[in-house]
Every structure is written in structure tokens, then in C-alpha cells.
Amino acid sequence: MLDDTIRVLAGDCTVIADGTDREEYRGRVTVIVKPDNTVLVHDVDGYQPVAWLTRADSVSSTSDPTNGFTLLAHKGDQTIRIAAHEQDGFGQYPASEAGTPVGDCPDCGGALVRSSGVHCVGCGERYGVPADATIRDDYCECGLPRMRVERGLAFHVCLDRNCESLDEAVRNAFDREWSCPECDGDLRILRRGGLLAGCEHYPDCDAGFVIPGGVLDGDCGCGLPAFETPSGRRCLDATCERMLEAPLSD
């Protein structure tokens, strides 16, 4: 199969699903083969497919004048075989993830939607977005929406990190602002998968803390900053047991 395409077959088909049990169906159905090799067979009744195979190991098809069009999907000891006796239609169509509309693409005018990140339905351009980010109604000069992300403060930056960098904004605000609890060195703002506050003396000191989603709310009893997060108040050090000693901010 081609990437990011959905194949659709509609017609009078015999469907044989073979695995623990063997089941055979015949009727006018619609067969959908998704880009991840998931095969779904829908009839006119109900919301659940008549037969399906999730993320098949392989999907192949053949067509000849004698046997017509046949599709075969395998996954382990499970198979689905679909033989089309009469085709009402067959096509291959571009597809993408569906998501919540958040604006328009400045490059092609297509809809920007949020699913895993933000992508354009038209040209396919993608932007990585933190899971806890809120997409705003105002736009960057580049034409993309801005997002609001809490990392100690509430930062408003462009969806495109090459245009306005969240990392740079957090670094400008907090780099060397906090002391390492292990050696009293400065904590630097680093990207190691996520945003970290890591000791400047690494590797001699390997202290490092993931910066949580939330805003600063005073100090913890251990001396590190405290954060107000969606799940409650916590220390920069997620393993700290001294939060009960932490004074609340004014």
C-alpha cells in the first residue's frame, strides 16, 4: 500500500474470516483498508464491522478475468479473504488524521487541525505541539496560530518552533535561576526529550529535573521551586517528599 492512503472496495463480496473459528459472509459490503493495514468490512447493519483485522502483517490483492478481484490479509494465524463477485466501486484516496480545527495553513490555505500535534489537511505540513498546550485565536506574523504553554510561566509562542522557540523562551526565563540541590551549581535549561533543568556540572553531577506543565507557586521545603499544575502543587523534583513544608505563594 501507499503511505497515507485508504483503499475502498464496494460490491457483492464473499468474506471469509479464518482464525480460531471460520466464518463466511456474502453481501453487498464496503471494504476499507487503512494505511496501517487495518481491514474493515461494513454491511448495511449497525456500527460494528461484519469482519475486521487490526494492523495486519500483510495485505495483498489480485485481479484476473477468471476469479475477479481478491484481497487477502494475514496477521499471525488469522486471515481475511475477500472475493468480489461484482464491483460497485474501487478507489484509493489520500487520508490523514482527523482533528479539531485550529486555523488555516499560511502555505496552502488548507485547514489546520489538532490531533497528535497540528497538521494541515491540505499540504500535510506538521508542527509538534506539547500535549498540554492550548491553541490560541491570535496569530504569529508568519500566519500560524500561537499556542499557550505553561512551563513555570505561561508562554505564548508560534506553533512553528523555528519561528518562535518555546525552549528559548523557557531558557531566557529560567536558565541559571535555580541552584542544584546536590552540589549548589546552577541548573541549566536543556532539551533531553523534554525540557529539563539540569546541573551545569554534568557529568560530575547528574542532577536533572523535568520541568512540569504549570506555573511557579513559591518554593518547596527542599529549596527548589514549587509549581501549581493541573494535578496539584508539586516540587520541581517529582520525587521530593517535602512539599508539605512548602510555603504557599502570596
Would 87 be classed as within a structural domain? yes
Name the domain count of the chain: 3
For 77-124, how does the pLDDT look when each residue is reduced to its tens digit (9 = 90+)?
999 999 999 999 999 998 888 999 999 999 999 999 999 899 999 998
- Cis peptide, bond prior to residue 203, ω within 30 of zero: yes
**Mean pLDDT score of the chain:** 92
| 127 and 184 inside one domain | no
The stretch 44-48 carries a mean pLDDT of: 89
| 24 and 84 inside one domain | yes
Would 250 be classed as within a structural domain? no
Q: Which residues pair with 119 in a beta bridge?
A: 113, 126
Q: Is 0.85 topped by the overall pTM?
A: no
| 118 and 78 inside one domain | no
pLDDT at 167: 95
Q: Which of 115, 136, 163 is the last residue of a domain?
A: 163
| 9 and 89 inside one domain | yes
| 139 and 125 inside one domain | yes
Range of the domain at 10: 5-94
